[in-house]
Amino acid sequence: MSRYMLVVSHTGREEALEASRLVIRTLAQHDVTPVADASQYGALSAGLGAELAQLGDVALADIELGIVLGGDGTILFAAELLRGSGAPLLGVNLGHVGFLAESEREDLALTVEHALEKKYEVDERLTLDVVVAHSGSETFRTWALNEATVEKAGGVRMVELVLEVDGRPVSSFGCDGVVLSTPTGSTAYSFSAGGPVVWPQVQALVMVPLSAHALFSRPLVVDPDSTLAVEVAGRDAQDAVLWCDGRRGCELLTGSRVTVTRSKESVRLVRIHPAPFSDRLVRKFSLPVSGWRGPQKDQA
């Protein structure tokens, strides 16, 4: 039976293109057909003798694995490409923090070897279904792995928002916006906004106001099966916008309602070196841990 692996690259960086072409050659040498999205096919196929198939000619359902070379933004793009396939993503960090990535550039050969031999575990990551409605009618629908963000747009000084959890209002204020995050996204925009870091194993949704003019504007952590909603309030027309993972979005009119729920479809991330999340947190953010001595054994 034929094997197909999608290769996704940060095509704006030559380092990523070179690494991606190396992966493509290695896959072909091991009788695995490398596949590229149409938007990246030209950049990835340049100078290659190895066969490179195109997504579309190869069915999404036939993709076994996505190998992603770049930063977190490239992994988010790959997650969008593979949505609905069930194929896991294996990230190789060629960016800065690369929190979603599993490996670094220097480990590329070993990473591909693990992929070829299927020597890895898979983490299931919670995602969000996001629906926008206005005047009772649905106007936009999308999803998010990291977060859905409602924020002011254009030259507006602030936007008036009402926050709701499970059909009940919890606060309203003028602000720069609000982040509705998954545990995976808790180390992304939500983290920058002062939200809590949530371990991936914890099933929860997080709501973090952005620069709210209010006495109570603390982050909220709620049940994963809760329904979060944000309404764009105010008497005058306001410029607001919805962004999901910084990739998909729409304009929001006054009176728009954004509803966020847990999606039935997860994103699957490959783990080659299973380790406590605390170790990844320390490594990715270069956190100071000097002086730690660990649990002390009883002295005889």
The catalytic site residues sit at 72
Question: Which residues make Cβ contacts (< 8 Å) with residue 117, sequence separation at least 6?
Answer: none
Strand-by-strand arrangement of the 147-152 sheet: 220-222, 205-210, 177-181, 147-152, 240-244, 248-252
Question: What is the largest distance, in Å, between two alpha-carbon atoms of the chain?
Answer: 74
Instruction: Identify whether the C-beta of residue 134 lies closer than 8 Å to the C-beta of residue 256.
Output: yes
Q: CA 75: distance to chain centroid?
A: 7
DSSP E strands, 126-167 = 128-134, 137-144, 147-152, 159-165
SS3 124: strand
Per-residue 3-state assignment (H helix, E strand, C coil) for 180-235: EECCHHHHCHHHHCCCCCCCCCCCCEEEEEECCECCCCCCEEECCCCCEEEEECCC
What are the structure tokens assigned to 96, written together?
A: 């800065």
Amino acid at 56: G
